[in-house]
Amino acid sequence: MQIGKTQIVDTFAEAFGMVYTRLVITAFDDHWLSAATNELCGYGSSVIACDAEVGIEQHIPAEQTPDGRPGAAVLAFGFSADALTKAISKRVGQCVMTCASTAVFDGLPDAEKRLPLGKTLRFFGDGFQKSKVVGGTRYWRIPVMDGEFFCVESLGIEKGVAGGNIIFQAVDQTTALTAARRAIEALAPLPDVIAPFPGGVARSGSKVGSKYKGLSASTSDTNCPTLRGRVESQVLPGANCVLEIVLDGSNEEAIAAGMTAAMHAAAGEGILAISAGNYGGKLGKFHFHLKDLLNPVSSPSQKEGTG
C-alpha cells in the first residue's frame, strides 16, 4: 500500500476504552483564553504518568459560546470516572479559576453520568458563593478579585476511545517535523478528537514493561533509529527519525477520521513509511487497520477485537 512515495505498512493501531468529559472554556479575549487552556492542558499527554490526557478539541467563535465570548472546547480522558473527577477538579481549580476573566460550561449537557465541578470548587468562595439556574442548568458564582468565576455545577461524562495512532519514519528530523506539522494541521478542524502530546506529537513512543522493576513502560526500542543493529528494529534503511501521533476521541469514528487525515497529510517526500503501534491485540479492543482506513468501504468498528 502506498500514498504517493510513502509505504503504508499493513498493520493496525490498538486503542482502548476510557471515559472523557468536555469542558467549554470562555474568556475576555483570545489572550486570556489561551492562557487558561495552556495551563489546563499542561502535563496531560499520557495517563502512564499524568492524571489525565487533555487537549483542545476546537476553538469556538464568540457568537457560538454560551456567554458570547471567545471559547474553546477541551476534551479530557481518564481510566475511570473517579480518577477523571479528581483530575478535572484540580486542573480547573488551579488553572482556570486562577486565570483572569474565565468561565466554564458543560460540553456534554445531555450525558446522564456527571462529575462535580462547581459543586466542589464553590467552597473556595468561603460562604460568599451563590448559585444560579440558567436554562435548567445550575451554575456557581464564586467571588474572585476580578469579579466572579462563573462555573457550571457538573460536567457530563461519556465513554470514549484512546490510543489511536500512526507512526511515521522519515529520512531526517527536518522532514519528520514538517510532516508532523502537516498532520496536526489536518487534525485541527476535526471534531471529537485530540492529539494530547506536545504539539500533537510523541517522540518517546513506549512499549509495555521494562527491564527495570516497577517501571510500567519504557522506550519503544524497535522504533529508535540509534538502536538498529542492537534490537529487532522496525526502522527502515535510510530512516533516521521516527515520530508518533496519538489520538483520543469520543468514538471509533472520530479516531478513524483523525488517523486517516493524519496519515494522508504526513505522507510525502522523505516519509519512507507510515505504520501504527499495537501490542498484538492484548491491550485494547479497538483495532484500526491502516488498510481499512485507506479503503473507506470498510468500517474500523467492524474490526473490533481482531488483529
Can you tell me the distance from the alpha carbon of 117 to that of 15, in angstroms, rounded to the nearest whole number? 28
Measured CA to CA, the distance from residue 62 to residue 71 in angstroms comes to 6
Distance of CA 47 to the CA centre of its chain: 11
Among 34-38, 89-93, 203-207, which is the least confidently predicted range?
203-207
Q: Which amino acid is at 76?
A: A
What's the whole-number mean pLDDT along residues 108-114? 97
CATH of 2-15+161-303, one of 3.90.170.10, 3.40.50.720, 3.30.70.520, 3.40.50.300: 3.30.70.520
Question: Would you say residue 206 has pLDDT above 80?
Answer: yes
pTM of the full structure: 0.92
**Cα-based distances in Å from 262 to 183, 214, 292, 294:** 4, 34, 15, 12
Of the candidates 218, 200, 205, 268, which has an alpha carbon nearest to the alpha carbon of residue 14? 205
Give the DSSP per-residue string, 118-131.
Answer: HHHHGGGGTT--EE
Class of 18-158 in CATH: alpha beta
Query: How do the domains of the chain map onto residue ranges?
Result: 2-15+161-303, 18-158
* Range from 8-12, 148-152, 275-279 carrying the lowest mean pLDDT: 275-279
Considering the chain, what is the average pLDDT of its residues?
94
Same fold, 2-15+161-303 and 18-158: yes
Grid cell 476521541 is found at 249
Kindly report, residue by residue over 52-104, the tens digit of the pLDDT. Answer: 999 999 999 999 999 999 999 999 999 999 999 999 999 999 999 999 999 99
How many whole angstroms separate alpha carbon 120 and alpha carbon 203?
37
pLDDT of residue 282: 76
Q: Considering only 76-80, 130-134, 250-254, 278-282, which range has the smallest mean pLDDT?
A: 278-282
C-alpha–C-alpha distance, residues 154 and 37, integer Å: 19
Write the CB contacts of 293 (distance below 8 Å, at least 6 apart in sequence): 256, 259, 260, 263, 300
